[in-house]
Amino acid sequence: MAQRPVVSTSRDQKPKFAELNNLISEKLGGRVLFTTDDWFAVAENMLKENEAEWKEGEFTECGKWMDGWETRRKRKPGHDWCIIKLGVAGVVAGVDVDTSHFTGNYVPQVSLQAAVLTPAEEALIPERQSVMGNEASDHDLQQVARLHSEEWDAIIPRSKAQPGYRDTCHTFLRSSSSQRYTHLRLNIFPDGGIARLRVFGYAVPDWSLVSPLEVVDLAAVGNGGVCVGYSDAHYGHPRNLLSPGRASSMADGWETARRLDRPPILEADSQGVLQFSGFEWAVIRLGHPGKVLRVQIDTHHFKGNFPDSCRVDGCFLQSRQEPEKFGTDDSFWRTILPPQKLSAHSIHLYQDEVVMEGAVSHVRIVIAPDGGISRVRIFSRVTDTPESSA
């Protein structure tokens, strides 16, 4: 039987930045480039998409198997740290230092620094050897020292982390910077373990390089798309809709709980669309305002739980500050794509069905009555409308 968490993980108890994209996600191409130590567990584990696991009684040659990054107990001056390349360059709004299962061995304090590195500067970092029991050599430390990473911008000061019990494992820390970065330096003081690191933010592309005639997916993570609100995310967060490629599983999509207001006997209209009083929704802020030309809805992996229909609405806001109850106030929204019947495990591409012609800054994905979709693509042309500051 499923157990309720000791502390609810509702949106009300998370900072707003924790709804943004994870810029170091392994599915976005986030990579660990350097660590001072990987004795018990390698740092790449911090970038995994799945929740950290616990394996009772399992040991390796280096000690207890742990699903995270865990360094040895330091017995010389200094502290441990690592360099991480963001999967997409962008603004870091905050982080979640997840110490799940690290209870007597969690890292006591952390800080985060950031920089923009050129390919030539990144090439100064020694080739990564991701192996348990490894430790950076004096030669490697001398090589990476040429980056002067200890002088990078401090975006999160040294802060206390919490032990990895179910009710204390998440430490949310807000960034003090709104600048665009490509690389991070995670400092742990002095040693210990972190199960997962989530770096929440949004990409900042150079739109001056994009022709007004070019058609781009303005909802994509790499183009600055970000989910800014939703009705329900019981099984999967709607930010997954913006990820590159096709979904790897149902967990890599947006899936809601079954609505309890479903009618006991379902009826359809003349178009075969089932009639429901309720629906679920997710709002996406596009990376840049644009004119929508095509919409793609992918239900990949959703076979017995895809929505019956989907609608897409749009609006234009001058500011990035979304109003309260933005997602449920129909006065903001105009229809981009009228309700369309969906099918299981399929890509649905709509072009002739798109009815809205003006520029939009936000889109609202509406599914009826509930269920899951894996990806949404909003193919558009960038407009000349200037972006507001973040």
Domain boundaries, the chain: 11-203, 209-382
pLDDT exceeds 90 at position 271: no
Q: What pLDDT, on the 0 to 100 scale, is given for residue 77?
A: 96
pTM of the model: 0.92
Read off the pLDDT of residues 42-63 as tens digits, 9 standing for 90 and up.
Answer: 999 999 999 999 999 999 999 9
Which residue is associated with the tokens 């696991």? 53
8 A C-beta contact, residue 158 and residue 189: yes
Q: What is the mean pLDDT of the chain?
A: 94
Topology of domain 209-382, per CATH? Jelly Rolls (2.60.120)
Q: What pLDDT, on the 0 to 100 scale, is given for residue 390?
A: 36
Where residue 2 falls among pLDDT bands split at 50, 70, 90?
low
pLDDT exceeds 90 at position 10: no
Where residue 5 falls among pLDDT bands split at 50, 70, 90?
low
Read off the pLDDT of residues 75-130 as tens digits, 9 standing for 90 and up.
Answer: 999 999 999 999 999 999 999 999 999 999 999 999 999 999 999 999 999 999 99
Topology of domain 11-203, per CATH? Jelly Rolls (2.60.120)
Of 111, 51, 117, residue with least CA distance to 81 = 111
pLDDT exceeds 80 at position 4: no
pLDDT exceeds 70 at position 184: yes
What is the rounded CA–CA span in Å between residue 285 and residue 263?
A: 32
8 A C-beta contact, residue 337 and residue 350: yes
| Fold agreement between 11-203 and 209-382 | yes
What is the rounded CA–CA span in Å between residue 364 and residue 130?
A: 42
8 A C-beta contact, residue 47 and residue 130: no
pLDDT exceeds 50 at position 3: yes
